[in-house]
Structure 1
Amino acid sequence: MTQYSLSYLEESIKQAALKLWPEINHEPHFYPLLDLNLGDVCCDYCIELSTLLKRSPKTLQRELVQNLPEDFPFCLCMHDGYLNYRYHLNEGNFSEFLSGLDGFQPQAEIYDALILTPPVKNCFGLSYLRLAARAIYHFSLLRSSGSQVKFFLGNTLLEVDSSQVFDQNLFMNLSKLAFGEPITQAEAVDQVVECLASGKFDKSFICSSGQILEHNLFENLKSEYNTKLRFPKNFWLNTDTATLRDAEKLVQTLNTKDLFFHLLLPYHGQDLSFDAIGLKCRDNLPWYFASSLERLKRFSSKQSIAEAEMINFEQLEPNFLQLLKRLCFMKSLVEELRRNGEVESFVEIVLELLDQINRMVNNPSFRQSVERRDLSYFEELLLTRSICTLEHLAPFFSLDNTRF
């Protein structure tokens, strides 16, 4: 457990609370905010503690802060009127903070590119499929920008139908790796080097996994061959949740477009673009989604779905209107994007929705209403609609009682 992990933050808060109030064994919860914020720790947690200890949340918050470790690597900040933690970044710890993030620095225009997917070893079948989906998506992005792209599996050139945005045959060929014969790391490295040395490319991308091919095996290739290494986080490859069952079902029906869509979603949206580098807590999209939904449910809503459906938009205050409209039309919009295989647009729209929902919950007036237990009709309405909409979207994000 490193000092820069969510686990360390969670454990530090928990130990401070146990030291102060040993009779309370209440787990802290961490919820998403924008930018580098890690979650509305003290506010939501202290509101919960206040109901158990019958004391002011602000007083509890102040006592918690004073009992954190001296070497606590997070700083406190005010955000829209409430206290929050964020990474205390400096030259000493910034590189460590970045080490777990996966993304591309902005790229110049690419004319000739190579995407290379080595055969893999000791990996779940779902992991093979996810690597294949990611490589195919990157291939589509490059080709749509006018680049000439070659696609290699190991040192074997795969034929691509240039008329198709999504090449079903290529995806199926890569998917068969899940049931193929694996090779050793040394063999994979030899194939990668042979392929890189066979031609001149403006940029080469190796789509693999750090748990399959060690990062340091390719470090000396980066400068020599102008190569970007693409290593997704291991939890993304190993997540054995609803997505695995979806994949098995979709493989049986050979609905490859739906399968492709599902396989990409568990990975964070920033990585779907070559020109993006993730520096936000939203990078882990399943965690952002799951924690947002969990957070809403903790503010139990009394408003029924039937009443929510009957609301007149003209009755709403302007700051509620945009969110409610988005909630009302989200289901139909999502279904259209899914049918068309527009993964990037889907992820972008869901991120915008989660941001809006969390801005509502982070509003100081809303927080005061939560403390007083007197949410207005419209606040209850928005909570109900938000929960209903996110529960509808949950299967897309591999949520199976899993907290990230």
Structure 2
Amino acid sequence: MSAPVSCPAAFVAAPASGQGKTTVTAAIARYHRNQGRRVRVFKTGPDFLDPMILEQASGHPVDPLHLWMVGEAACRAKLHAAAQDADLILVEGSMGLFDGDPSGADLAVAFGLPVLALVDAGGMAQTFGAIVHGLATWRPEMPLAGVIANRTGSPGHGRMLRDATPDGVHFFGAIQRNEALSVPDRHLGLVQAGEVADLDARLEAAAQAIAEAGVTELPAPVAFAPEADAGAEPDSQPGAERAPRLDGLRIGIARDAAFAFTYPGNLEFLRAQGARLEFFSPVAGDRLPEVDAVWLPGGYPELHLEALAANTGLKADLAAHHGAGRPILAECGGFLYLLEELADRDGHAAPMAGLLPGHARLEDKLQGLGLQAAPLSEGELRGHTFHHTRAEVGVEPLAHCTRARGAGSTGEAVYRDGRLTATYLHAWFPSNPEAAVALFAS
């Protein structure tokens, strides 16, 4: 039985979204990486875009940690494994520190992660102290490493905020406002890392800003226990070791600027089950490789309508694959691609693969958001939904997802036609290994 492993660690959180968590977490990761340290970063909750930035900053793939979607035991195992070869572990929060159920604070408490509170102090003086006081005292059992003031106006502003920090709360430093450090965004969040030509230069500049602000000290070590020694209730989700395997199964996975929303942990899961992964680019005009199953992940197909419409060879290949009764899993952007038509926000439409009757259009407002679970015949798969498109599909859904909170409006529809499964839901495969394997198995 393995023993607990200690590693410096911090949970980077904020009072709300838009405070600069991703930029600062990436800056800290890049700074310590530049010092020769091995840095592992995780993201709280479901996200594809922030982890792309954090991976480039740290040099390692970034997976989610979430008590509901991933499970407490699996989160504990990931942290314990990371601590065995890392010199620093960073976990970036999502939304506000206490937002959601479970919240980032719940995760910090569960694993003893000291919270490094980041507060956007632009246009703020002594009120900074009141906000920090609230973050530090709202959950007395939550460990607090200290606070960083972000987007300050001047060195004098930073000193004012330091003096306003409540007694007993460590002030790590003040980072001055610099828009050149931030990453541009679009309707689903940050622009994908591969599309930001000067991202590495921005990360280096952010690391330098961290150094100039004095936010360079390592957080205190945290002892991460292996799941078997943790004393926690076991997850209700079946273990990967009990799942039937995919030995030798060839899975074709769309991967390019239109289909990039894949968790590294999902790819790792498929490989661990023995699958051979074959990547192809619909945008570049690739045909479907010789594969047994297909996965069309989410992304931005609405930004690549002409290229996707022009790839008639791939459409024919997918139709033949589907007609032969072979598995296809299409998530969010992949689901949109399988419809007959997709339109951008201006109403410009283009023909898609047409394996499902219907059409979709990009809307100005968010159309779906939240943690949900798909009640498939193979078993329940947990995940999340986040999209700005509205789809009208000409067939009845197999089922509707259930929301993590168990209340509210109906969840996302799941469509099934033979071995084709399509939905807006982005699934976390290890949440139910047996169900995930069954979706791809021949």
Instruction: Give TM-score scaled by structure 1 length.
Output: 0.24
Structure with higher Rg: it is: 1
Higher relative contact order (CA 8 A, sep 6+): 1
The structure with the greater share of residues assigned to strand is 2
For normalisation by structure 2, the TM-score amounts to 0.23
